Amino acid sequence: MNNHFRTECFPAIEPYDSGMLSLDETHTMYWEQSGNAQGIPVVFLHGGPGAGASPSHRRFFDPDHYRIIIYDQRGAGRSTPLGEIHNNTTPHLINDLEVLRQYLNIEKWLVFGGSWGSTLALAYGETHPERCLGFILRGIFLCRKREIDWFLYGLRHFFPEAWREFVAPLSATEQEQLLYAYYQRLMHPDPAVHMPAARAWSRYEGACSTLLPNPEIMQHFSDDTVALGLARMEAHYFSHNIFLPENYLLEQVQTLHEIPATIVQGRYDAVCPIISADDLHQAWPQAEYIIVDQAGHSAWEPGIQAELIRATEKFKTRLSI
């Protein structure tokens, strides 16, 4: 099981460089670099869409070895405007990664992403495989219609209390069209309308993200910046089927077959059930596939965290520029 590899988070560090990068007339992207400026570049793709990145995400990577690039996708976190859906599509996000890569003068980078971050990593890699040194993917989400329906309705089979709380603000008729009903509230200009909806959506996802109840995770998902970015972006992207054809990511994955990859999946991931990771591995058998038996969805599940850090450690010896 490669037990000689480190499995604990690295110590907290501060960025050596950060800034705001103008993307268009509407959007400005927050970005930062930490670790070794001469090291292997690795880019962290946060989940959601819309969840934003945090300082703790730097700790997956050895700062002596990696040049750690973390950023907030348009509409999320410290990027502005928060929750903005105008000019916000998967092709925009793919292009933003290229804008950032070129701005930082990086030829190729390791791509690390979980949940929606795995979706975006695949979409980016399939568009620009020549720019990818490798992939570390967690909690696979292929954003197919049945996966979106599962998130909205299927989760009640495992988390009925959380689902009841999620749908409580809605009428019985609206509960039959959850995505539409929430979309209307989340896009309402009045914070008195959109913020309660955003908090309810985000807390629902947080409550379903771990194998066992986790107050720290719930506190994170209850933060208003996280809640608004996450809920608005997810409702927007889900309403438009992530702006890609159904099953597109699986059908194009052969373009990545020659690039090293590790897939880490929680056996009891309720948010992004393991069938999607299994489908991905069947289509990408060259990728290393690790199932963590005692884990749900979150990257901070102890077993998942350990495997992600083990993967970044193994990639230190797998990669050369």
Domain boundaries, the chain: 17-144+243-318, 146-242
Rounded to whole angstroms, how far apart are CA atoms 56 and 46? 12
Reading the block at residue 167, the tokens are: 């749908």
Specify the CATH architecture of the domain 17-144+243-318.
3-Layer(aba) Sandwich (3.40)
The amino acid that residue 69 corresponds to is I
Rounded to whole angstroms, how far apart are CA atoms 91 and 120? 10
Q: What is the pTM of this model?
A: 0.96
Measure the CA angle with vertex 218, ends 307 and 75; round to 5°: 85
Per-residue pLDDT of the chain (321 residues; tens, 9 = 90+): 445 788 899 999 999 999 999 999 999 999 999 999 999 999 999 999 999 999 999 999 999 999 999 999 999 999 999 999 999 999 999 999 999 999 999 999 999 999 999 999 999 999 999 999 999 999 999 999 999 999 999 999 999 999 999 999 999 999 999 999 999 999 999 999 999 999 999 999 999 999 999 999 999 999 999 999 999 999 999 999 999 999 999 999 999 999 999 999 999 999 999 999 999 999 999 999 999 999 999 999 999 999 999 999 999 999 865
Question: Does residue 278 carry a catalytic annotation?
Answer: no
User: 147: closest CA among 244, 52, 57?
Assistant: 244
Rounded to whole angstroms, how far apart are CA atoms 273 and 148? 11
Q: Which residues contact 224 (CB under 8 A, 6 or more apart)?
A: 195, 198, 199
Catalytic residue among 236, 281, 297, 298: 297
Catalytic residue among 57, 65, 72, 115: 115
Question: Does residue 297 carry a catalytic annotation?
Answer: yes
Rounding to the nearest 10 degrees, give the CA dihedral for residues 177, 179, 185, 191.
Answer: 150
